Structure 1
């Protein structure tokens, strides 16, 4: 019994949860279908979508719903609302980085701007729309690209037939890529109608007729806006063929639909066409009738359009002022940055010049006087040997006879003259062995007479030698540091550079560069 009660409550909760689910995609498609039948009915569905999308934080459906509200307002010739809803859609799409939403909003902006005569703004918006979906080859991408191509037609005049043909064909090609047959046919209706209209404009009536036939075969009885559009464009084709009676017939059929369902934007076009058709028939009464009706319609929405234009231009002005202020801020920032850069650059130049002066002074001194003797440092190896000697025997002071000392000095003289210090394998032990003395005697004599430990002695000889070569043999200045290190017996570029800088105060390359300048 307990299990049955739990199961019962589970079913109740499941049913309640299911009832709470909202089919956004299905409802959006339904609202879109209603837009071309009855915009007022579409609005009811769209308001539900917006309410649910806000609650569930679904920006994609919010953007699409506001786009469709913009389209509905466009059909009613409410330009101000149309642009307001398009702006809302665009803001939401940008915030959520939803490219389809951005493309829809830009496309609606562009279409409405064109109707307001803001052709430059229209072109910019439509190009923005196309940029958002240019590489999108999904169903939505193809659909939107086709719709945008159709919208570009509004910007073109009769003389721009080639451009019109390009956009019309491009729209048809995009729509034909759709796999959803129902949606594909629905969109192809407008594309075929546009193609028929464009061909009629340039009096290619035979070519235009098949497109109108295709459009009529696809449009449903309940698709009122598209049907009214086709009938109006067929009427236009007959008018261009100088068949005003047939034109009037189709215009009247179109008018009946737009009048009934409140498609005011299309109604303005149809009444104007009727005025012209009756004028061709020399029917002054009806010509006057539809002229007055057309003017009334235009007057009724003129204020709204003027407000929309002013609002658009005001936004542009605000945007321009904002950009100007940002530009000023950026300019100030750039000026400050430039000043800071100049100060830093000045400091760097000053430091560089000072360093170069210091280098020149150092090199000039070495050039004139040779390298200065370094301060004597105890050789770690010698210290180690001393410690070892102290641990193994009683330390005694090293006494060297004058005769032995003189022999060692003579040996060192020959060693220096023969440049044996550049031998890579030179060591205290090797040199002592060559002079036939012990290492202690050698170190003692070098310390007493040369004021160096053994390593200092060798390094000093090597660096002094290479400096003399650089002074007296200009070709040496062209050698790489690696080669100079090799000449002087160093095992590496870094070991040579370290000792060179330690003795001269300059890196070898800096020394050579400065030497070139002063010599």
Structure 2
């Protein structure tokens, strides 16, 4: 019993001593260095910092730890987690009036908003971040200002080179003011890389190369994220110089690092550029490979991005309602506006409920009974084509042997899913079946009850509906990908035909299908 008491006492003393001596600054710097090397390892240290900071009431380090978790989530393309952790960092920093923490949180908010296409919100967040540390002349202040200037670059398109150059040089100037040489050099890597990339966009390749050389000289061998960035941007520079072979070489090196350490955001950019580079070379199989990989990566992050955007607008709506509530007592006009708004909202909700019920009934019927075939419609294009085709008697008498041969050919055509070929036409199908177009149209009309275009569209839409019903992963694909699968030339052409045949837009059909299946 005495041994147990002594052991418990020793354990309590050890735990207390450990908590007293926890090196927050050292552990934070270690976690920060790991973020660019291996985000998963960084998370372990950050969880330890958060636990100790909560126990020891260290709000500044708690905020900074959540900022780093936000940054790690950004590297993995988890938009929702990025914004969630940034919001936590911002809340803690605001409650404790910690300016650098607010600047860090605003920086991550702005960067993620820009990636989601919310450019107005991104600009507002980044400017708020600058306001928090504009008068801070410490190493930390210069570091944060430089990082925020770098983040501003995402807001500009390739035609806004002067703005990009200005913000890039501002970042370099801020980083050069940092007295801590190792940290200064580490931060200058990203600034030099950005300058190299921007100069490559405007064909100033010699200047760009000088900045890439500087970046490579400063980057640590184990700083995997920055090294992947540099290799990618050098590849981009070669691509701009019409040297696709060299571009591919550097892109592949960057992709290897990004894949190994889970930098999903960077992988999306690299695979897109690899597709372009392989097209320049004329290597279409590899171009298609990386196109599909890029689509898959985008599909994997699209749900997270949707949740993040929904949350962003939800928060904006909540803030608006809060402001409306605060001004309620001083403005009767706003009360009237709210009542009208609620009435409109009620009408909209009623309409949405009615529409969803209608959608549900339609999708349920399709799910249970399949697509109801449309009635035959005369196709003026078929008549126009027939005028230049082989002459056939008006009543189109087809021998049983020929008719059977055409039907057998159509069966093979349907079973091999050749109707999803982009280049399919009545002319080339008749050539494949070795019959004239008029015979083909007559057999399709008699046995399928469609004109040729109706027949192809019905097969395609029926095919994709079957995939959506039986293979749930198809519901995660974007509409333009579904259009490509089924051989349509555009997103709009596919959507138009899908709605014409099923009665619903593809996105409404998929959403409703998820509810009933």
Counterparts in 2 of 1:349-368, with a 5 A limit?
A: none
Aligned to 2:328: 328
Distance 1:102 1:276, change over 3 A: same
Aligned to 1:77: 77
Aligned to 1:88: 88
Aligned to 1:250: 250
Q: Distance in 2 between matches of 1:240 and 1:214?
A: 20
Aligned to 2:23: 23
Give the TM-score taking structure 1 as reference length. Answer: 0.61
Aligned to 1:109: 109
**C-alpha distance after superposition, 1:359-416 (max 9, x if no partner):** xxxxxxxxxxxxxxxxxxxxxxxxxxxxxxxxxxxxxxxxxxxxxxxxxxxxxxxxxx
Aligned to 1:148: 148
Q: CA deviation at 1:331?
A: 2.9
Aligned to 1:39: 39
Aligned to 1:60: 60
Q: CA deviation at 1:141?
A: 0.2
Aligned to 1:473: none
Q: Distance in 2 between matches of 1:35 and 1:85?
A: 15
**C-alpha distance after superposition, 1:205-247 (max 9, x if no partner):** 1111110000001111100000000000000000000000000
Q: What is the DSSP-based 3-state SS (H/G/I as helix, E as strand, rest coil) of the residue aligned with 1:222?
A: coil
Counterparts in 2 of 1:93-492, with a 5 A limit?
A: 93-331=93-331
Aligned length: 326
Q: What is the DSSP-based 3-state SS (H/G/I as helix, E as strand, rest coil) of the residue aligned with 2:222?
A: coil
Distance 1:14 1:320, change over 3 A: closer
Give the TM-score taking structure 2 as reference length. Answer: 0.61
Q: Distance in 2 between matches of 1:15 and 1:43?
A: 22
Q: CA deviation at 1:328?
A: 1.9
Q: Distance in 2 between matches of 1:20 and 1:321?
A: 45
Q: CA deviation at 1:18?
A: 5.9
Q: CA deviation at 1:14?
A: 9.5
Q: What is the DSSP-based 3-state SS (H/G/I as helix, E as strand, rest coil) of the residue aligned with 1:113?
A: helix
Aligned to 1:399: none
Q: What is the DSSP-based 3-state SS (H/G/I as helix, E as strand, rest coil) of the residue aligned with 2:117?
A: coil
Distance 1:68 1:16, change over 3 A: closer
Distance 1:289 1:333, change over 3 A: closer
Distance 1:305 1:19, change over 3 A: closer
**C-alpha distance after superposition, 1:49-95 (max 9, x if no partner):** 00000001111001000000000000000000000000000000000
Consecutive unaligned residues of structure 1, counting only runs of 5 or more, are 1-8, 336-519
Q: CA deviation at 1:326?
A: 1.5
**C-alpha distance after superposition, 1:239-261 (max 9, x if no partner):** 00000000000000000000000
Q: What is the DSSP-based 3-state SS (H/G/I as helix, E as strand, rest coil) of the residue aligned with 2:331?
A: helix
Aligned to 2:484: none
